[in-house]
């Protein structure tokens, strides 16, 4: 019996499009995560790992869509192939099965390490850019949730004994916002 073709797609944020990743590839089912790949604890990835069976093929656009660090990449590929699942990476033209392939393992390790290195470089550049923007007074962070006049009103309510949870609800903010602005 022929197994199913299962796609796995990941983008880092809700606003990003998943369309290009498996464009034109026929699948029986696609699992899509819209979150960072820094951790393997992604709901759709975990669901896909439970779903696939021996004889199935998992297709992923590229190595970095499956995992952003080498340890997670190796673990996921090993977990899939140990179940008798084939995994294909379209961009890198790599296929892994339960049959040991030393050249394939070498490429997996090298390309996985490159993806991890690339992620670290992006984080470093981002931190450098933020530091420069802060130094130049350009980066001011997120706008405050509460305006100065609202803070004065809230202080009066707190002094009157109004619970913080009620104040948070009245101003449509989290309780943590109130606690941050007015520590106990």
- Per-residue pLDDT of 46-66, as tens digits, reads 999 999 999 999 999 998 899
Instruction: Indicate if 12 belongs to the active site.
Output: yes
Alpha-carbon torsion 175, 176, 181, 184, what sign?
Answer: positive
pLDDT, one tens digit per residue, over 102-113 is 888 888 889 888
CA atoms within 13 A on the CB side of 169: 5
Catalytic residue among 12, 165, 172, 180: 12
pTM of the model: 0.67
Q: Which residue has the higher pLDDT, 86 or 141?
A: 86
- Cα pseudo-dihedral 95, 89, 54, 99, rounded to 10: 20
Q: How confident is the model at residue 68 (pLDDT cuts 50, 70, 90)?
A: confident
């Amino acid at each position: 019996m022929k197994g199913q073709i299962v796609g796995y797609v990941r983008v880092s944020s809700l606003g990003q499009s998943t369309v290009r990743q498996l464009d034109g590839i026929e699948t029986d089912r696609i699992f899509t995560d819209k979150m960072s790949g820094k951790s393997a604890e992604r709901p759709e990835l975990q669901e896909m790992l439970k779903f696939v069976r021996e004889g199935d093929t998992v297709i992923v656009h590229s190595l970095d869509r499956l995992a952003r660090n080498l340890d997670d990449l190796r673990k996921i590929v090993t977990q899939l192939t140990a179940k008798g699942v084939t995994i294909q990476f379209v961009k890198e033209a790599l296929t892994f099965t339960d049959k040991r392939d030393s050249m394939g393992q070498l490429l997996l390790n090298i390309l996985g390490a490159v993806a991890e290195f690339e992620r670290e470089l992006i984080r470093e550049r981002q931190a450098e850019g933020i530091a420069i923007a802060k130094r130049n007074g350009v980066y001011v962070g997120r706008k405050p949730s509460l305006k100065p006049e609202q803070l004065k009103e809230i202080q009066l309510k707190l002094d009157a004994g109004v619970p913080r949870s009620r104040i948070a609800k009245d101003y449509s903010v989290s309780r943590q916002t109130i606690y941050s602005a007015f520590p106990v």
